[in-house]
Amino acid sequence: MSQNIPRVIILGAAFLLSVTAPSGAQVCDTQTDSAVGYRGGDASTLSVLDGVSNDAANMYLRLKGKGANFVPSTNYSVTTNLRMTGAAADFNNDGNYDLAEGGRQCDYNTNSSLGNLNANDSNLSIFISRGNEPADPNRFKFDGPFYFLYEGTVLGRTFEIMALGAGDYDKDGDADIAALTWQGRLFIITNLFIESNQDPGDVPTFSTTMQYLGDLINDGYGEWGQSSDHFRWESNIASVDFDNDGDLDLIVGVPSRWAGYRWGEVVLFANNGSGVFSRLVTAINPYPHTQTANIYGVCGVATGDFNADGFIDFYVGSASSRYIYFYRGDGVGGYTAVSTRRITIGSAHGTCSMLGSADFDEDGKIDFVLSTDGAAGINTPGGYAYWFRNAGTSMTQNCIPQDCSKVSTSSDFDSGAVGDFDGDGDFDFFVADGNHSLSCYFFVNEVYDLYVSEGTVSSKNLVPCSFITSDNAIVAATITVSDNKPSGTNIIYYLSNSDDATGMPLWEGPITPGVEWNFANPGLFIRWKAVMQTSDETATPKVISVDLEYKYITKREYSRTSQALAEVELDPANAGDESVLYSAAFEFPSWQGHLRSWNVTSLTLAANRVSQLENIKTVGASYIADAGEVLNAQSWSSRTVYTAYDQEGDGIMNNRTDFATSNVDLLDNYLNLGVGSTEAVPLIEFVLGEGRNWKLGDINHSSPQVVNPPAAISSLMGDGYEEFKTANADREKVLLVGANDGMLHCFDPVSLEERWAFIPNNLLYKLKTMRVQDPDCGEHVSHQSFVDGTPVIQDVYINSAWHTVVVCGQGAGWGRDHAFYYFCLDVTDPLDPQPLWERTDPTMGETWSVPAIGRVSVDGGAVWAAMMGSGYDTWDEDTTSGDRFYIVDIASGAILKSILADSSKVTSPYGIVNSIPGSVNIADRDNNGFDDYAYFGDLLGRLWRVDLTGGAVNDWDGSVIFSDPYYHPIITKPAIYVSSSDLVVHLYFGTGGDDKAPGTDTYAFVALKDSITLSAVEWFLGPADFSSRLGIPLGYQKGELAQGEKVWADDVIADLRVYIATLNGNIESLNPCLTLAGSGRIYSRYITGSTSGGSALIGATGETIESLLTAQKVRSAVTVGNIQKLSDGGQSISKRLVFIQSYTEPGGGTEEPPSQVLAQVVTGNKVVIKSWREVYKTVK
């Protein structure tokens, strides 16, 4: 790929204009309330204490003492027979972690020839912790064992146990047990401590009836020693909330390679909230099970949010390997291996026998411990112990003891568990030696008489639950604190008013106490956080009290989309169709979607040459309907909603099925709830609208599009198209738009009734996040992006016939495996959509780029292809994504070509990571029906050209034809005009489209001439030094944008004029107190002739004006409407209608964002615009 920038050729003439920014900021009306954050040592308002202790006696918060000072000790009589695995939890609610132990040869075994065995030993033994031994504070005191015999109640009449886990699975207040038998069968054993009204410290009672979850190995073996090829090891079961729904799920490490042929060496079970589990179908096999050397599968699992992204991750180890592998979680049950975080056990120190996780050193980050064994004959000997400190991006190894000597004299460690066995507030751990000493090694975690270097404390939501269900949202807050910061210490404060995509608080700051903080977005909560720090380990800062005052506003509507226009028959009694304008918006904080229609057939406009900019309602537009209201009146059960699945097993999601409760058995395979989950039917009903106050999700970035009958030029399309046009001339029109309720919606353009909706298969995976409830108030407050991209519609010739297809991105709406997707539907029959494919790629970022669909020449034939960029890089720490241009075969969804927008030699001075979120445009330069070039911009300010003329895929390549001298980002789709006289491609684009682009800079709009051999700036709107930096005369400056005036919206060409919409300030924030300041402007510039670059806007006295101030900011492209003929005193005049969608109602309140119309005089033969998404080849 070439990055050489072509020599700039000087064209045109000069004159200098200036534009000043509008003064004054719009008012944000608020109300005020207050809350107590912390006072008097009362911890009831606190949610998280990581590395921080609440000193109730002294009534302040302080840093914790340093932990992870492990003291190993052995010779505990808390194991019997061959006890080789364990779990820890407070089974009797006395504040101490107790032990559950299992192993082999423990079915009430009386064979004394095996050695030191207890003839009364039964399947499961419980040891009750009583804290420290009075005579030795480095040892714990346990009562027991207390046996529970399950031999006669389970399949196979054996309950030898090789993995255990514990947690309050049914949320009744006591800890239950998960047990994996030596045969591979998984059970849940319910603790009846609460139900039996027992007192703290009593020996707990467990149910004699177990919940059977399935056979995780199913290899026909199970007794230890039956076959060396089927040997098992020991492992553990982690009890964590991996899908962020507020209950404990299971991550089971299965210590047998044969599990890889079943459901995987790591198996995930999702909890429905009541202790009923369903298996997720994801197969995770860290150690290749097809290799007999990896006989033991996974022998340890350590879980936690190791990378601080809000999701549960895990490390796994095996007795068959020195490698400890890391898997990153996505918050809904998906896991991806991250090779850069792999850990290797030291030479001659054994292999993994146990992993366990906790914040051992009390610094607020999850660490893990590891013990090793040498019995597998790999990397011998074993018997070593380590703890791995979480350093943020890596784990730091520490020996136990510090001299790294071997702990187990027999070189044997089996499994164990982590728990606070002495009730002192820090986590200890134990490891069993079930083969040799038949004893346990305990590692007491003692706190140093010093403070950790950093800790975090944060509060619960401090506003009442009634606020969540109101129409109010918090926009600002002031925190007032009383604290103490000795020399060498510090406290940094943060505030949160909303949750992130994981359901965790979205923190903003640092905050200065006493100074009002304006949030980026309005929110439903108010929380505070303090990060306490010390560089002197003998001193700690203290927080004595926290109070908050917050401001809130009532709900408001916003729009970031373009409008759509259609000619439809509203009233059969009238002759001809009417012009209908469609405007999308959403409410915040409720995230309710709206799609309104307006009759704009005959507006009351001035019959003069003045460029008239009006609110459509003031010039006679009449309201028709709101799709949100229409859909809300419809029963959820009567909706027609489809999704896709893979019937043939070829990996292509091209089979359609109903998204309905009657289809739950099929949908259950994709909903990521677990096989046979009882939650499947309620989730389907909820997504369809049951139990929701509003069915239509927010339409945030998806611009509505009309599916019209085929109307392209037959000679440019190819054979058979004319017949296709004729056959579909009366095809019903429909309106498509995406929403963040998981669906691409199809509406009737007249009534706005929903005809159907489609949920891409990849999004089925995370629909369950819609039902996540706030833990304090039980309200459904989770908001996720789903179908947040704009659909593009095109007639194509595929599979030996003409079809109409729609290709749509999902914006930030990640799907299965936390990947970003485009999907394609066949809408030849608009009422009978058929899925064709869904496409992702490891290098694909968020799918904001609206594809351009064209016909390209490949090996002498014609291929219809979608061409798109790849948006922001937001997820995979192993892979750089978002900086690729893709060419995708419409017929199959296969990526024909991926081109890297290399940024290795260019760096943004604004901290913007390069990506291609903007849309692509294509040019058929020689007007032969085949597209020759594709153009797109990137966030480093470069405009790229992709040459498609080679005739072979390998010949397609990209090159930079323009670089902004300030590295200002380009997010706009370049508008294209091709001159028939010289076949030169003229391109029009703007800069500044990123919220990180500073408001103090001056941005530009550029007209670029591309003759393929040379690229040249024709004219520009921008600062004077723009020309000097590019080496072109100042005469090419045709005006100047105001400081901070950015071009986010795609530019649109109509009537040989280019329409440019701009905005001041930021736009992606929803906080009107931040975004109301500034304004939007509309420009119209000639693109041909001697007036090229000059303004086409006419003022009230006939003078040329540079721009018009819009009602509010404009985020997306204008929509070109029809020409309306007007007459005044017998004189006829024609005006082109150009519709503009503002961001929000400037005066506040609950009104929809205003739609404006710009009426521009047109004369002579002008281009007839059908849709702003089309590319037009204009003849001069």
- Give percent of the chain above pLDDT 90: 72
Banded model confidence at residue 139, pLDDT cuts 50, 70, 90: confident
* Rounded distance between C-alpha atoms, residue 7 and residue 21, angstroms: 34
Where residue 362 falls (left for φ over 0; alpha for ψ -120 to 50; beta otherwise) is: left
Q: What type of residue is 1030?
A: L
* Rounded distance between C-alpha atoms, residue 716 and residue 964, angstroms: 35
Q: What integer is the mean pLDDT of 30-41?
A: 94
Q: Where do the domains of the chain lie? A: 70-446
Question: pLDDT at residue 52 above 70?
Answer: yes
- Give percent of the chain above pLDDT 70: 91
pLDDT score for 523: 87
* Rounded distance between C-alpha atoms, residue 473 and residue 589, angstroms: 6
Q: What integer is the mean pLDDT of 55-64?
A: 94
**Residue 510 neighbours by CB distance under 10 Å:** 12
Question: pLDDT at residue 10 above 60?
Answer: no
Query: Residue 1108: what are its φ and ψ, rounded to 5°?
Result: -125, 140
610 compared with 1168, residue with greater pLDDT: 610
pLDDT score for 423: 82
Q: Cα–chain-centroid distance for residue 419? A: 33
pLDDT score for 147: 82
- In 721-830 the beta strands, taken as DSSP E runs, fall at 734-738, 744-747, 754-759, 791-798, 801-809, 822-826
Q: Which residue has the tokens 């081109």?
A: 899
pLDDT score for 66: 87
Q: What integer is the mean pLDDT of 617-646?
A: 98
Considering Cα of 171, then 177, then 180, then 185, what sign does the dihedral take?
negative
Give 1164-1178 pLDDT, tens digit per residue: 544 444 333 333 333
* Rounded distance between C-alpha atoms, residue 699 and residue 562, angstroms: 11
Q: What integer is the mean pLDDT of 308-322?
A: 95
Q: Cα–chain-centroid distance for residue 569? A: 41
Banded model confidence at residue 854, pLDDT cuts 50, 70, 90: very high
Q: Which residues contact 807 (CB under 8 A, 6 or more apart)?
A: 791, 792, 794, 822, 823, 824, 851, 853, 866, 890
pLDDT score for 1097: 98
**Residue 748 neighbours by CB distance under 10 Å:** 18
Element housing 1030 (H / E): helix 1024-1030
Strands 861-868 and 852-858, sheet pairing: antiparallel
pLDDT score for 225: 52
* Rounded distance between C-alpha atoms, residue 560 and residue 1114, angstroms: 7
* Rounded distance between C-alpha atoms, residue 541 and residue 126, angstroms: 42
Q: What integer is the mean pLDDT of 756-771?
A: 96
* Rounded distance between C-alpha atoms, residue 780 and residue 772, angstroms: 6
Q: What type of residue is 1108?
A: L
Give 1011-1050 pLDDT, tens digit per residue: 988 899 999 999 999 999 999 999 999 999 999 999 999 9
Lateral strand order in the sheet of 82-89: 82-89, 98-104, 124-133, 136-148
* Rounded distance between C-alpha atoms, residue 821 and residue 771, angstroms: 23
pLDDT score for 1074: 66
Banded model confidence at residue 585, pLDDT cuts 50, 70, 90: very high
Give 974-989 pLDDT, tens digit per residue: 999 998 888 899 999 9
Give 342-364 pLDDT, tens digit per residue: 999 999 999 999 999 999 998 88
Question: pLDDT at residue 945 above 90?
Answer: yes
193-202, 620-629, 647-656, 773-782: the lowest-pLDDT one: 773-782
> What do you get for the CA distance between the two ends of the chain, in Å?
34
Contact 1160, 1169 (CB under 8 A): no
Lateral strand order in the sheet of 834-839: 791-798, 801-809, 822-826, 834-839
Q: What integer is the mean pLDDT of 803-830?
A: 97
Banded model confidence at residue 839, pLDDT cuts 50, 70, 90: very high
pLDDT score for 582: 98
172 compared with 424, residue with greater pLDDT: 172
Considering Cα of 1112, then 1113, then 1116, then 1122, what sign does the dihedral take?
positive
6-10, 27-31, 183-187, 1165-1169: the lowest-pLDDT one: 6-10
Q: In the structure, how many helices (H) and strands (E) does the chain have?
A: 9, 74
859 compared with 1138, residue with greater pLDDT: 1138
* Rounded distance between C-alpha atoms, residue 683 and residue 687, angstroms: 6
Q: Which residue has the tokens 């024609």?
A: 1134
Q: What integer is the mean pLDDT of 193-210?
A: 95
User: Among 127, 146, 147, which residue's Cα sits nearest to residue 76?
Assistant: 127
Look up residue 32 and give its two tokens.
Answer: 């005020």
Taking all residues of the chain, what is their mean pLDDT, rounded to a whole number? Answer: 90
Contact 795, 1171 (CB under 8 A): no
Contact 497, 561 (CB under 8 A): no
* Rounded distance between C-alpha atoms, residue 486 and residue 417, angstroms: 39
Q: Which residue has the tokens 């010039």?
A: 619
- In 503-604 the beta strands, taken as DSSP E runs, fall at 505-511, 517-523, 527-534, 542-554, 556-558, 564-568, 578-588, 593-599
Strands 69-76 and 82-89, sheet pairing: unpaired
Q: CA triplet 47, 49, 55: central angle to 5 degrees?
A: 110
Q: Cα–chain-centroid distance for residue 599? A: 37
Q: What integer is the mean pLDDT of 637-652?
A: 97
Give 164-181 pLDDT, tens digit per residue: 999 999 999 999 999 998
Look up residue 465 and give its two tokens.
Answer: 């639950």
Report the 3 state secondary structure along 605-651: CCCCCCCEEEEHHHHCCEEEEEHHHHHHCCCHHHCCEEEEECCCCCC
pTM of the full structure: 0.89
Beta bridge partners, 373, equal 351
Banded model confidence at residue 1072, pLDDT cuts 50, 70, 90: low
Give 691-708 pLDDT, tens digit per residue: 999 999 999 999 999 999
Banded model confidence at residue 155, pLDDT cuts 50, 70, 90: low
Contact 1174, 851 (CB under 8 A): no
pLDDT score for 1068: 79
User: Among 144, 159, 335, 105, which residue's Cα sits nearest to residue 238?
Assistant: 335
pLDDT score for 20: 34
82-86, 102-106, 458-462: the lowest-pLDDT one: 102-106
Question: pLDDT at residue 17 above 70?
Answer: no
Question: pLDDT at residue 592 above 70?
Answer: yes
Q: Cα–chain-centroid distance for residue 711? A: 38
Residues counted in the chain: 1180
825-848: buried (b, 16+ CB within 10 Å) or exposed (e) per residue? bbbbebeebbbbbbbbbebbbbbb
User: Among 549, 510, 556, which residue's Cα sits nearest to residue 533?
Assistant: 510
Q: What integer is the mean pLDDT of 585-614?
A: 94
Q: What type of residue is 525?
A: F
* Rounded distance between C-alpha atoms, residue 1048 and residue 1052, angstroms: 12
Q: Which residues contact 634 (CB under 8 A, 6 or more apart)?
A: 695, 753, 754
Question: pLDDT at residue 80 above 70?
Answer: no
Banded model confidence at residue 8, pLDDT cuts 50, 70, 90: very low
Question: pLDDT at residue 662 above 60?
Answer: yes
pLDDT score for 157: 60
Question: pLDDT at residue 119 above 90?
Answer: no
Look up residue 534 and give its two tokens.
Answer: 């010390």
Q: Which residue has the tokens 């099925």?
A: 657
Instruction: Indicate the SS3 state at residue 510.
Output: strand
pLDDT score for 872: 85
User: Among 1008, 1105, 1158, which residue's Cα sits nearest to residue 19?
Assistant: 1105
User: Among 1112, 33, 996, which residue's Cα sits nearest to residue 520?
Assistant: 996
| CA contacts within 13 A on the Cβ side of 636 | 18
Element housing 687 (H / E): helix 680-688
Contact 920, 980 (CB under 8 A): no
Question: pLDDT at residue 4 above 90?
Answer: no
| CA contacts within 13 A on the Cβ side of 651 | 5
Question: pLDDT at residue 2 above 50?
Answer: no
* Rounded distance between C-alpha atoms, residue 277 and residue 239, angstroms: 12
User: Among 1008, 1114, 1020, 1050, which residue's Cα sits nearest to residue 921?
Assistant: 1050
* Rounded distance between C-alpha atoms, residue 508 and residue 1137, angstroms: 43
Q: How far is CA 453 from CA 53, 450, 457, 535, 784, in A?
A: 13, 9, 14, 6, 36
Question: pLDDT at residue 993 above 60?
Answer: yes
The yes/no answer on whether domain 70-446 falls in CATH 2.120.10.30 is yes
1112 compared with 629, residue with greater pLDDT: 629
* Rounded distance between C-alpha atoms, residue 1034 and residue 1020, angstroms: 10
Where residue 761 falls (left for φ over 0; alpha for ψ -120 to 50; beta otherwise) is: alpha
